[in-house]
Amino acid sequence: MNALSDGLSRFGGVYPLPVIIGVVALALIGNPSTWVTLTVAGLAMGMMIFLMASGLSLVFGLMDVLNFGHSAFVSFGAFIAASVLAAMGSWLTGSSPALNMIALLAAISAATAFGAASGWFFERVIVRPVYKDHLRQILITMGALIVAEQLLLAIWGGAPVPVARPAVLEGSVLFGNVAIETYRIFAFFLGLAVYVCLYLVLNRTRIGLLIRAGVENREMVEALGFRIDRLFIGVFMAGSALAAMGGGMWAGYQGLITPALGAEMLIIVFIVVIIGGLGSIEGSLLGAILVGLVANYVAFLMPKLALASNMILMMAVLLWRPYGLKPAVMG
């Protein structure tokens, strides 16, 4: 393990891992066009999971809150986006790319705004009474996830809900003999844009400095004169909004959603946070991309192992780095 760490540190630390996995996958797959398709699918999936997981990682790292209800924001984001898209059907499917994109942005914005508002409510009513008590956090946030799922059933029903995609993002773009879905390219660049924004906020602003410091030592941030509880609410709202945005994008990616979506995504989101390391946006991005790539490569190479692939990846990473690939605070 130490030899692996030393070797990797000479080539940029853990950052080249997706490239190494990609190269190994290319050797195993053999066909370059299939490999490109799987790689783009994995990157797009990774970016959407990153949207969902980044907020949880910050909430976990900064607030020490185990929020098992985080994926409820993913579900609500997906259903709200689906409803907005359905209501703007004529704009979505019309011939004007501008109207197509306005409909999509409206759906994503509605999901994100709902995520922020419900995040505020969730923090004040559900999480605040159980700060510093992990057992109660698990119980109450799991309970909230169940309640959220029942609310989704009551509002949208139990039948799978089809999600329309904007006409401009339907179909594929051809690169030589490789066809890449347009929606996946969009999802990748949206995720990248969110990552860049988060990176800039965390590394170039005073609020970001406070968040990074708070992840390391909440008590000391307070002793320096800052009200960390206000920071908590802001981070919780932002994390919930990002989860809902990710849910909205995921709805378009899947094309069909059910109220069980949140529970399904919960495990993946936690795996990404654990692989990446708590409180780290870079870690979440790296973990999400690894999960996306491995899920797609393994599904192609060994379909029977597809479901277990992320668990195996997590175990391998934890054996190598018990605090994750890029934790904000080294244990």
Partner 1 sequence: MSDAILRLDDVHTDIAQYRILHGVSFDVPAGGVHVLLGRNGAGKTTTLRTIMGLWRARKGAISFCHNDITALRTPDIARLGIAYVPENMGIFGGLTVEENMRLASTTGAFDDERLARVFALFPAMETFWDKQAYALSGGQKQMLAISRAIIERRELILIDEPTKGLAPSIINAMIDAFREIARDTTILLVEQNFHFARSLGRGATVIDDGHVAWHGEMSELAADEALQTRLLSLSMAEAS
Q: For residues 97 and 89, what is the distance between their CA atoms, to the nearest angstrom?
A: 13
Q: For residues 311 and 29, what is the distance between their CA atoms, to the nearest angstrom?
A: 22
Residue 54 in contact with residue 325, Cβ under 8 Å?
no
Residue 329 within binding range of partner 1, rule CB under 8 A: yes
Using the contact rule CB under 8 A, the part of the chain among 8-16, 219-227, 260-268, 285-293 near partner 1 is: 219-227
Shortest Cβ 227–partner 1 spacing (Å): 5
Shortest Cβ 221–partner 1 spacing (Å): 7
Q: For residues 262 and 285, what is the distance between their CA atoms, to the nearest angstrom?
A: 20
Q: For residues 238 and 163, what is the distance between their CA atoms, to the nearest angstrom?
A: 25
Residue 219 within binding range of partner 1, rule CB under 8 A: yes
Alpha helix (H) ranges present in the chain?
A: 2-10, 17-29, 32-63, 70-87, 89-93, 97-122, 134-156, 182-204, 206-216, 218-223, 228-254, 261-276, 281-301, 309-320
Site for partner 1 in 283-312 (CB under 8 A): none
Q: The tokens 């540190």 sit on which residue?
A: 9
**Of 310, 217, 316, 303, whose CA–CA distance to 270 is shortest?**
310
Using the contact rule CB under 8 A, the part of the chain among 91-99, 130-138, 148-156, 210-218 near partner 1 is: 210-218
Using the contact rule CB under 8 A, the part of the chain among 133-141, 145-153, 202-210, 264-272 near partner 1 is: 202-210
Site for partner 1 in 221-250 (CB under 8 A): 221-228
Shortest Cβ 226–partner 1 spacing (Å): 6
Identify the residue among 10, 132, 204, 206 touching partner 1 (CB under 8 A): 206
Residue 213 within binding range of partner 1, rule CB under 8 A: yes
Shortest Cβ 229–partner 1 spacing (Å): 9
Residue 135 within binding range of partner 1, rule CB under 8 A: no
Length of the chain: 331
Shortest Cβ 228–partner 1 spacing (Å): 8
Strand, coil or helix: what is 179? strand
- Contacts with partner 1 by CB under 8 A lie at 206, 209-210, 212-213, 215-217, 219-228, 328-330
